[in-house]
Amino acid sequence: MENIAFIGLGNMGGPMAVNLLNKGFKVSAFDLSAEALAKVAAAGGRAASSAADAIDGASVVISMLPAGKHVQGLYLGDDGLFAKLPKGTLIIDCSTIDAGAARKVAEAAQAQGLAMLDAPVSGGTAGAAAGTLTFIVGGEAGDLARARPVLEAMGKNIFHAGGPGAGQTAKICNNMLLGILMAGTAEALALGVKNGLDPKVLSEIISKSSGRNWATELYNPWPGVMENVPASRNYAGGFMSELMLKDLGLAEETALQSHASNPLGALARNLYEEHVQQGNGKLDFSSIVKHFHTLN
């Protein structure tokens, strides 16, 4: 079994680290949150005092951080982890960042004799807890073959999207569509409720009709329709709206750089920007339903 350093124990990273422990891997973890560290320690992991402490003796480093600036800050520069890791170490960055930053970090890793994969995830907090995440991987096929047993301990589906940065591009496309679908689902349910329909009945109708989608079937945004989703707990503990806004911004930047059209993605970004500005940034992204309907 590989010795793993896990950096970043948020709503996604924490459960992922616990799943590695449950599958028999040794995990040294670091996060700025003492509470997050305590949860991993309670599952059998080692609570490191710093990122540099976490990588001591590790053959694999996994990071799950909020943005590209955090990833570059962790790995690059004289004080970054790349300067401290032995050659041959495998780095798997599961953060969702822009593809350009992912390629920059991968090039720096290669220059240091390190193996680097960008492996953003899909499946939400429920998938992280259940170990059923989808990993969307960019990097060399040989490095992915080495990483596969580690990824399989945390996820159900593993896709090789292409070379460095390709995982991030594919993830950004997916999350742009997810933001559009969630906003559209929320709008449709609000329209039905304002015209006297029961949101649970309408959701069931949509799920068996041509409007069916992931949001209505597995992550319904309307309170009281579905158990064990953020909408059933006041939108706490899921994928924060401010992170969806970040991803939609990445999609818009990618579209501009590649001269691609993304009118629906841009509209979804505008909706989430307004939603976050209204103080909903820490709530799950399904709380966008508040934009269309006042909830009791």
Contacts of residue 175, defined as CB under 8 A and 6 or more positions apart, other chains included, come to 96, 122, 244, 247, 248, 251
Structure tokens at 191: 């329209």
- Which of left, alpha, beta for 214 (phi over 0: left; psi -120 to 50: alpha)? alpha
> Active-site residues: which are they?
171
Q: Which of 229, 225, 232, 245 is nearest to 288 (CA)?
A: 245
| Residues 268 and 201: beta-carbon distance below 8 Å | no
CA distance 191 to 204: 15
CA distance 58 to 189: 48
| Residues 18 and 73: beta-carbon distance below 8 Å | no
Contacts of residue 92, defined as CB under 8 A and 6 or more positions apart, other chains included, come to 60, 61, 62, 63, 117, 119, 147, 150, 151
- The amino acid at residue 84 is K
